[in-house]
């Protein structure tokens, strides 16, 4: 996740795994300003793209001859 300080506009790359799933207050190392970081969006997964094709494993097995 990339976040920007609302006070000095400094940008930071943060590890999503270290951000809790809630809104937190963080202190900017550059200007010591405090701003809120919304961690609920950090682990958002991208939606799966449907292709319109049926999965081979989803079909029932063919009957034995």
Query: Could you say which DSSP state residue 10 is in?
Result: -
User: Is the predicted pLDDT of residue 53 greater than 60, yes or no?
Assistant: no
DSSP state of 11: E
* Domain ranges (residues) in the chain: 2-44
pLDDT of residue 31: 95
pLDDT for residue 36: 93
Confidence of residue 29 (pLDDT cuts 50, 70, 90): very high
pLDDT at 28 over 70: yes
Q: Looking up tokens 């950090």, which residue turns up?
A: 42
pLDDT at position 11 over 70: yes
Task: Report helix, strand or coil for 25.
Answer: strand
Q: Is the pTM here over 0.85, yes or no?
A: no
């Amino acid at each position: 996740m990339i976040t920007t300080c609302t006070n000095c506009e400094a940008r930071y790359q943060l590890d999503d795994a270290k951000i809790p799933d809630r809104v937190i207050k963080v202190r900017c190392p550059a200007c010591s300003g405090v701003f809120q970081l919304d961690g609920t969006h950090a682990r958002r997964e991208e939606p799966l793209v449907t292709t319109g094709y049926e999965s081979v494993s989803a079909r029932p097995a063919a009957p034995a001859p």
